[in-house]
Every structure is written in structure tokens, then in C-alpha cells.
């Protein structure tokens, strides 16, 4: 396993046996930290060609709508241009309470995003880690 601690708010690791990048947020973050964390994850992913990410939001909580929209648009574009192979998938691990809010946000925001941007990465959320990992592996 290749692990990187990104400041005091994010634990990044790559598991070659699973071919998964793990982003485990450990506290609420500012927009700047949010974007910095995703940039650090992309930097870790590139040498491993890791196109499947498990992003654990349970300790951090959900991002603001603006920060989620940044992931769904700008960051997807960065993923598409990154050289990481398709299909790229982002599996979010959330609490059951957070899942309802995440459903509402994705149902509202995703239809407003152009198809060519959505192709940057598939996004789905889970309340349990094993189903998330299964979804990520099924796309390999």
C-alpha cells in the first residue's frame, strides 16, 4: 500500500492489490482544502493509473453544493484530461443520513451537466464499503 497523509484533513492511499485509490477525509474542510485534497489524490493516482477511487466522507460530512458542483464539473474535466484510463469511477462512502442529501443533490445537479463532462467519471454513493468496492471492481 502506498499511503500519503495530506495535512491533517485527508488520508490518501493506493492499494495495488485492489487497484483502488482511497481518499479518507478526517474532518470538515474549507473549499481550498477540498480542492487541494482532490489535487493531491490525482497526483497519487497518476503514476498508478488508478481510475477507481473510494472517497470516504463519513467523518468530514458532505461538501457544500458549490464544492460538489466543482467535483462534478471542473474535477471531472481534470480527470478526463489526466491520462487515467476510462472508465473512471468515484464511489462516495457516506452515512445513511448523508445519503438522502447526496441523492437529492445528484438528482438535481447531474442533469444540468453536459454529457461530455459527465463522461469524465461515473459518480455513485454508498453507505457501506464492500458494495462500493464491488461497484468499482465491476467496471475494471
Whether the predicted pLDDT of 139 surpasses 70: no
For residue 1, what pLDDT is reported? 64
> pLDDT tens, 75-88?
999 999 999 999 99
**With pLDDT > 70 as the criterion, what percentage of the chain qualifies?**
94
Residue with cell 470516504: 56
Q: Give mean pLDDT, residues 51-69.
A: 96
The residues that bridge with 15 in the sheet, in sequence order, are 20
Query: CB within 8 A of 138, min separation 6: which ones?
Result: none
Residue with cell 483502488: 20
For residue 113, what pLDDT is reported? 96
Q: Give mean pLDDT, residues 111-128.
A: 95
Q: Give mean pLDDT, residues 26-30.
A: 95
Amino acid at each position: 500500500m502506498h499511503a500519503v497523509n495530506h495535512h491533517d484533513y485527508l488520508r490518501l492511499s493506493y492499494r495495488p492489490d485492489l487497484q483502488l485509490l482511497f481518499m479518507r477525509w478526517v474532518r470538515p474542510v474549507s473549499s481550498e482544502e477540498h480542492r487541494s485534497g482532490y489535487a493531491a489524490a490525482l497526483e497519487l493516482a497518476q503514476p498508478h493509473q488508478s481510475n477507481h477511487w473510494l472517497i470516504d466522507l463519513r467523518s468530514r460530512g458532505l461538501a457544500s453544493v458549490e464544492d460538489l458542483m466543482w467535483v462534478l464539473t471542473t474535477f471531472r474535466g481534470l480527470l478526463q484530461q489526466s491520462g487515467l484510463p476510462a472508465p473512471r469511477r468515484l464511489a462516495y462512502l457516506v452515512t445513511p443520513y448523508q445519503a438522502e442529501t447526496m441523492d437529492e443533490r445528484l438528482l438535481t445537479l447531474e442533469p444540468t451537466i453536459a454529457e461530455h463532462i459527465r463522461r469524465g467519471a461515473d459518480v455513485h454513493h454508498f453507505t457501506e464499503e464492500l458494495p462500493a468496492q464491488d461497484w468499482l471492481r465491476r467496471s475494471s
